[in-house]
């Protein structure tokens, strides 16, 4: 069964909306700033933050429960995605355009969820009369807000969360459990998360610069990416106007090598990539672009570069380094990469990555410094996480 991407919504350091996101990709310019947190007492309190002007002001609660930034970001991205798919418009939209809302599911990946809300309450105190609020609430909040009464699922296996979530969403459609899935990922500022990575010595003091010889770690970013997935039959029956791409294949693996470090040989990373290609029924030569996990940490970039050469060949396709633009968005990274991949396919163009300094000779990958046409029918997306959780996705032209 073909699973189509028929709507997109996004919020990141580039601003709100897919137009701003694509313009940011093409401009290839960004920089982190100090986190807007007076209590960020750490060596490198840097973030690729959502611009203040684009931070959603409302809603502040859902069904009487207060919402943190992650849930609010996810709601904003979901509203755009549903409007883009023709399934509702505006902040008060519902799923009236869907014959059976019980056939609409929600799957959202996030590493920290609304933990930032609880961090604020710990220091500043909760507002009077505030009830307990769940941390991993974005999926349920989207379901409640828009009336999606199918399965509402939160996935939280760290930085691969939304990559796995998109694969689960496709499985819900292929298994017949859902006709439409509102799927993606979200991450908002967390003092605990940023503080932990500072303690690990894993923050680059300048910016996120994957595959750069002088890279010194990663830099976190905020963001939400929501994609509307639906079966081709359902899209055809309702006359869906847009078909950005098809989510054609997925591969999962876990090397369980170390709690934080990737397995140096990359065997399980290669397994996930090959499984995704096989699931999509394509050959390595069909891959026209790769959006790598590419965090800017020393070992990750070297291992992933080697495996890309192993799986796709020494003359492999160009890479688009999304994290160099928006930072490492944690549990939202896979969804933001998939959304970027859908735009690359829809526009048949690979934008330039944010320029590196001196390339790392141990990372023999091609990062174009100017827009290039997309050759081939498919885009490969990688997302990895602590604990050795690996997922690869294949996006294809909708007609492939």
- Can you give the pLDDT at residue 89? 66
- Can you give the pLDDT at residue 77? 97
pTM recorded for the entire structure: 0.96
Give the whole-angstrom CA distance, residue 352 versus residue 321.
9
For residue 293, indicate whether it is catalytic: yes
pLDDT above 90: residue 394: yes
For residue 13, indicate whether it is catalytic: no
Q: How confident is the model at residue 129 (pLDDT cuts 50, 70, 90)?
A: confident
CATH of the domain at 126: 3.40.47.10
Give the whole-angstrom CA distance, residue 263 versus residue 265.
6
- Can you give the pLDDT at residue 101? 86
Q: Is 239 left (phi over 0), alpha (psi -120 to 50) or beta?
A: left
- Higher-scoring residue by pLDDT: 260, 164: 164
Pair 299, 319 in one domain: yes
Q: Which of 13, 44, 62, 159 is catalytic?
A: 159
- Can you give the pLDDT at residue 59? 76
- Can you give the pLDDT at residue 280? 97
Give the whole-angstrom CA distance, residue 334 versus residue 318.
18
Pair 274, 299 in one domain: yes
Domain boundary among 208, 229, 245: 245
Q: What is the pLDDT of residues 222-247, one digit of tens each?
A: 999 999 999 999 999 999 999 999 99
Give the whole-angstrom CA distance, residue 394 versus residue 273.
9
Pair 255, 314 in one domain: yes
For residue 254, indicate whether it is catalytic: no
Q: What is the pLDDT of residues 321-366, one digit of tens each?
A: 999 999 999 999 999 999 999 999 999 999 999 999 999 999 999 9
Radius of gyration of the chain (CA): 19
Q: How confident is the model at residue 98 (pLDDT cuts 50, 70, 90)?
A: low
Pair 279, 138 in one domain: no
Give the whole-angstrom CA distance, residue 168 versus residue 357.
38
- Pick from 100, 184, 107, 113: which is nearest to 151 by CA? 107
Pair 170, 192 in one domain: yes
Pair 239, 319 in one domain: no
Pair 233, 286 in one domain: no
Residue 149 · residue 297 · CB < 8 Å: no
Taking residues 61-84, report their average pLDDT: 91
Residue 353 · residue 367 · CB < 8 Å: yes
pLDDT above 80: residue 376: yes
- Higher-scoring residue by pLDDT: 387, 351: 351
pLDDT above 80: residue 41: yes
Range of the domain at 349: 247-396
- Pick from 217, 135, 140, 216: which is nearest to 182 by CA? 140
Instruction: Please name the residues in contact with 187: beta carbons below 8 A apart, sequence gap of 6 or more.
Output: 70, 110, 111, 112, 220, 221, 222, 223, 224, 329, 330, 331, 332, 333
Q: Which of 44, 62, 234, 293 is catalytic?
A: 293
Q: Which of 44, 208, 234, 328 is catalytic?
A: 328
Pair 315, 200 in one domain: no
Pair 299, 233 in one domain: no
pLDDT above 90: residue 64: no
Pair 239, 308 in one domain: no
- Can you give the pLDDT at residue 320? 98
Domain boundary among 245, 267, 301: 245
- Show the DSSP H helices in the chain as ranges: 18-27, 69-84, 115-124, 138-146, 161-174, 191-199, 232-238, 267-280, 298-312, 323-326, 333-347
**Up-side HSE of residue 367: CA atoms within 13 Å toward CB?**
25
Taking residues 154-174, report their average pLDDT: 97
Q: Which H or E run contains 290?
A: strand 287-291
Pair 220, 253 in one domain: no
What's the gap between Cα 263 and its chain centre? 23
Pair 234, 253 in one domain: no
Domain boundary among 245, 268, 302: 245
How high is the mean pLDDT of the chain? Answer: 93
Q: How many structural domains comprise the chain?
A: 2
Residue 187 · residue 111 · CB < 8 Å: yes
Give the rounded percent of residues in the chain with a pLDDT score beyond 90: 84
Give the whole-angstrom CA distance, residue 395 versus residue 400.
10
Taking residues 260-265, report their average pLDDT: 87
Tokens found for residue 176:
């017949």
Q: Is 296 left (phi over 0), alpha (psi -120 to 50) or beta?
A: left
Q: How confident is the model at residue 93 (pLDDT cuts 50, 70, 90)?
A: low
Give the whole-angstrom CA distance, residue 355 versus residue 352.
8
Give the rounded percent of residues in the chain with a pLDDT score beyond 70: 97
């Amino acid at each position: 069964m073909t699973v189509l991407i028929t709507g997109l919504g996004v919020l990141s350091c580039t601003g709100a909306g897919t137009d701003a996101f694509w313009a940011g990709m093409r401009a290839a310019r960004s920089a982190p700033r100090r986190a807007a947190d007076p209590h960020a007492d750490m060596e490198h309190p840097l973030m690729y933050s959502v611009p203040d002007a684009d931070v959603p002001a409302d809603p502040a609660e859902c069904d009487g429960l207060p919402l943190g930034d992650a849930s609010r970001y996810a709601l904003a991205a979901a509203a755009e995605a549903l409007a883009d798919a023709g399934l509702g418009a505006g902040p008060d939209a519902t799923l009236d355009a869907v014959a059976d809302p019980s056939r609409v599911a929600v799957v959202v990946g996030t590493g920290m969820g609304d933990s930032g809300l609880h961090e604020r309450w710990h220091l500043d105190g909760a507002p009077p009369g505030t009830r307990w609020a769940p941390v991993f609430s974005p999926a349920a909040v989207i379901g409640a807000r828009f009336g999606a009464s199918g399965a509402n699922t939160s996935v939280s296996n760290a930085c691969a969360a939304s990559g796995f979530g998109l694969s689960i969403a496709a499985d819900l459609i292929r298994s017949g459990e859902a006709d439409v899935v509102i799927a993606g990922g979200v991450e908002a500022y967390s003092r605990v998360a940023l503080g932990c990575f500072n303690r690990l010595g894993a923050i680059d003091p300048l910016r996120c610069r994957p595959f750069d010889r002088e890279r010194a770690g990663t830099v976190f970013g905020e963001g939400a990416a929501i994609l509307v997935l639906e079966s081709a039959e359902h899209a055809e029956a309702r006359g869906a106007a847009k078909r950005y791409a098809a989510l054609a294949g997925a591969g999962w693996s876990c090397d369980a090598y170390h709690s934080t470090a990737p397995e140096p040989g990359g065997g399980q990373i290669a397994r996930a990539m090959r499984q995704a290609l096989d699931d999509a029924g394509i050959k390595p030569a069909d891959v026209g672009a790769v959006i790598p996990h590419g965090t800017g940490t020393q070992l990750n970039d070297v291992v992933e570069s080697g495996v890309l050469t192993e799986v796709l060949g020494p003359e492999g396709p160009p890479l688009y380094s999304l994290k160099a633009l928006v930072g490492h968005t944690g549990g939202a990274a896979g969804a933001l990469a998939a959304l970027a991949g859908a735009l690359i396919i829809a526009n048949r163009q690979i934008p330039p990555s944010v320029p590196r300094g001196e390339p790392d000779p141990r990372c023999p990958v091609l990062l174009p410094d100017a827009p290039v046409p997309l050759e081939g029918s498919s885009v490969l997306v990688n997302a990895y996480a602590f604990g050795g959780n690996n997922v690869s996705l294949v996006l294809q032209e909708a007609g492939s």
